[in-house]
Structure 1
Amino acid sequence: MRLRISLLFGLSILILTNISAQSYDFDVTKTEELRVRDGMPNFFKKLKAGDPVKVGYLGGSITNGGLWRAKSLEWLQSEYPKANITQINAAIGGKGPDYGTCRIKEHLLVHNPDMIFIEFRVNNGSAFQGRALEGMIPQIWEHNPNIEICMVYTIAHWMKEEIARGDQTSAGVFMEPVANHYGITSIEFGLEVMKLLKEDKLVFKKGDGPSDGKIIFSKDGVHPLEAGHDIYRDVLIRSLKAIENHGTPGPNKIPKPLKKHIFSNASLAPVSKAEFSSNWHKSDLGNEKSINDDLTDRNGGIKSVFGEAMQTSKVGESFTLKWDGFMLGLTSTLAEKGAIQIEVFTDGDPSKIYDLKSRTGKTAVKYMFLDEMESGSHTTRIKLIKLAPGIKLQIGQFLIVDN
């Protein structure tokens, strides 16, 4: 049985109790730099023993190309020189936990990590009110109950006032209940950033004010510059050092779900699973090599999002997919509003029209989910009904959600 540990800004109180992961009751509306919960004893046991250790990173662009990942790995390698520590970069820019839970098996668990850092608060960590994020945890521990998990919370400009007050963000309030329920450690990077800002030692965004002698945290208010990543690394290091001797190694147990219809059986289905009409052709996704253990956006993430893809430039073309679950998602070309529209028919129900519009208005390779429905076996036909000149519709792997 794990030990329960509570830490508040570096002051540790060790409480020896036989409790399960779901007993933690930290205030989810507030944020603290470190909430240990069950800790990560399996991870530290392997590090101290000098065993091979694989560290997995799952999140968005701040983690994909962000230096905090590389810097944290370098520190682990220097702190535990006897252990052969390697990484799995399974972060993809601009993607949230709803997409992450569908791809976690294929992109991360297949590599058998020992430790997983999850970073999704900036990228819509509240997706489906936390049900998407929660769905990752059973998948991880069903694969290997000894894998340890840590949620790390990065900061963006729209979170500044909340975090300065010590409040959790609008996305984080759906992530912390998951951490409470499953006993997962969470680390808040943003409090230290706001502390330095309050002390006039930091400029949050380049151009916000005089910067002589100060840390410039970011250019865009979201993606840290190297000095910003140093802050993230330092918070992570002191948090890991504070808990490295806490907890009892052993398998993590999966409690009953916190919510109904969590994304615990989400998966990717290849584009070949569908039957396409005659005027679809295989897409050329460029020279990017097959995805293995590094999803760095070398070609804008197209290969990592699509896997393989089919494309058409002709209105009226369609494809049909048979699937099991309660929600279907598409990886596809998105464009400005009104440029691409599809009509969706499922199980003989009235059809519905979807506008494949991107958040920025620019053509991009992204994902979207269709409406949630009753769990079961379904047949969905999707027909292209509108396509602006010069744009092609590409359809990649499908996102199938069940529990």
Structure 2
Amino acid sequence: MYRYCKYSCSIIALALSACSGLKNTRQANIFNRQDAIAASQAGASPLFFEAGLLPEGQQVSGYSNDKELISRNGLPNFFNKVNAGKPLTIAFIGGSVTQMDNKYRNQTAKYIRALYPKSAIRFMNAGVSGSGTDLGACRIQNQVLNYKPDLLFVEFAVNGSYLPGLEGIIREVIKNDPGTDICLLYAIMSGQSQLYMKGEEPANILELETLADHYHLPAIHLGWEPSALEAQGKLIFKPDPKVTDKPVFSDGIHPTEFGGYIYAGAIVRSLNKMQSVGSAKKHVLPAPMIKDNWEDGKMLGLEQLTFSSGWEKIDPKTNANLKQFAPWFSYVMQADRPGSFFSFSFKGNKIGVFDIGGPEVGQLDLVVDGKKLKSLNRFSHWCNNRYRGQYDFVDVPYGEHQVQLVISSEIPDKKALLGTNQLADITANPDKYNKCVIWLGKVLIRGELIKNIN
């Protein structure tokens, strides 16, 4: 199975062998990808956004490739509603490629608005930079399904496209409302355009296709057209100082505004092709393809936890360093005293935290059923005078557990973590870093909350 890389404040490197030149290249590509994703982790975006108007003269290209869209059962419920003039909600969930403003998500929304000018459509941005389908499966209920979407675009191909997490997302959507249509989007990263040029598709996308087949979901390969344009010498995939006379498609992962319109064009062409595919009906929930999928993923609100003394409720909008996270967290709990803890009880097999990293943060000791399991360091070299959203998961044996997360008295060796090239701020402001602050936004679990611990 395609290997999954967990994310925390510090991206955990994949352990890959380098037995050949090809493997070395693949390893370098993966590490570069993780660095780019980690660097992109930052603040939140507003959940709802306005589509705006297409620039004058902006049109979808005439590119044609039968492999661009695998329509399967199409999007008949969406088209039934839009043709009937009903109000609609269209949501996008994914990583940084989706969260970014003025890129494919906004551009697709502009095209859709132009296609259906008489329809009342609201658009949702559930992109979280630097995140994968694991966090997606935990947050989709709170951030998407509670708002009753009619159509959901799912984009995780270059960000943690972890199959059990993606199946969890799909199953949660169908269980919540079998009338919601789902469309998978396959973005690409550096190196993959070479496969498309040869008429092949990347291995990670082929694995995503097994889920699309199982649930009969349409999928759009966003990489065919940019790969064809690169082959024709009409663009370069990522910046090259030696090439100044061609448009740049991306930074290797994240499309530019120019690249975003190419992605959006593929989506619009596919929507046009799917207008007459299938008939409106409820989606059937088959047996899971992966038994251990993440359909039981949940994101707990802070009001569902028990806090010791020493914690303070903070409105991020009132804090200059934290206000960028307000769309994710209506409030955060803050503490900086070793020994302060929060607790809960659940039945399941994974525990996670969704929090805010920065120069001041420390470590949490995870105590399960009275025994310390491990320490979760909330600081990394990405926290150099910078605040960022982050999350982490820990496996536990399936069952009922009492959980405490305790602020550790041990402060990480932050200079060592920052590295020799990032010591200016910590040298100038040592007191800022000599702290063990925790800014908790949400708790994540796979399983069911049982009760609070008193």
TM-score between both structures, scaled by the size of structure 2: 0.72
Q: How does 1:273-284 map to 2 (within 5 A)?
A: 273-284=304-315
| 1:217-366 equivalence runs, <5 A | 217-218=249-250, 220-287=251-318, 299-300=323-324, 302-334=325-357, 340-349=362-371, 351-358=373-380, 360=382, 362=384, 364-366=388-390
Q: Residue 181 of structure 1 aligns to which amino acid in structure 2?
A: H
Contact 1:317 1:384 in 2 (8 A): yes
CA distance in 2, matches of 1:59, 1:359: 24
Contact 2:74 2:277 in 1 (8 A): yes
1:25-81 CA-to-partner distances (Å, cap 9, x unmatched) read xxxxxxx42111111111112222222221111112222224322222222222233
In structure 2, the residue matched to 1:216 is 248
Counterpart position of 1:19: none
Give the deviation of 1:155 after TM superposition. 2.0
Cα distance between partner residues in 2 of 1:340 and 1:105 = 30
| Residues 137-169 of structure 1, C-alpha deviations (whole Å, 9 max, x = no match) | 121112211111001112222544444444444
Which residue number corresponds to residue 396 of structure 1?
Answer: 441
Give the superposition deviation at 1:95: 2.0
Q: Is the 8 A contact 2:338 2:436 kept in 1?
A: no
Rounded to whole Å, the distance in 2 between the matches of 1:76 and 1:101 is: 26
Partner SS, residue 236 of structure 2: strand
In the TM superposition, residue 312 of structure 1 has moved relative to its aligned partner by: 1.8
Cα offset, 1:335, TM superposition: 5.8
- Which one of the candidate residues 193, 207, 217 is aligned to 1:184? 217
Structure 1 segments unaligned to the other structure (5+ residues):
1-8, 12-31, 289-297
Residues 1:138 and 2:171 aligned together: yes
Please, which of 171, 174, 184 is the counterpart of residue 151 of structure 1?
184
Q: How many residues align?
A: 358
Moved over 6 A (4+): none
1:379 aligns with 2:402: yes
CA contact (8 A) 2:193 2:226 kept: no
Question: Which stretch of the first structure deviates more once superposed, 46-55 or 171-180?
Answer: 171-180
CA RMSD of aligned residues (A): 2.6
Distance in 1 (CA, whole Å) between partners of 2:244 and 2:217 is: 37
Tell which deviates more after alignment, 391-400 or 156-165. Answer: 156-165
Contact 1:134–1:262 under 8 Å retained in 2: yes
Q: Which residues of structure 2 form unaligned runs of 5+?
A: 1-63, 413-433, 449-454
Aligned-residue sequence identity (percent) comes to 29
Measure, in 1, the Cα distance between the counterparts of 2:273 and 2:166.
26
Q: Does 1:95 align with 2:127?
A: no
* Mean Cα deviation higher: 159-168 or 92-101: 159-168
Q: Please give the per-residue CA displacement for 1:224-275, whole angstroms capped at 9, x wherever unaligned.
A: 2221111111111111112211112110000001111211122211123222
Seen in structure 2, the aligned counterparts of structure 1 residues 352 and 173 have a Cα distance that, compared at 3 Å, is farther
Indicate if the aligned counterparts of 2:299 and 2:445 stay in contact, CA closer than 8 A.
Answer: yes
Structure 2 vs 1, CA of residues 75 and 238 (structure 1 numbering), >3 Å: closer, same or farther?
Answer: same
TM-score by length of 1: 0.81
* 1:105 positional shift: 1.3
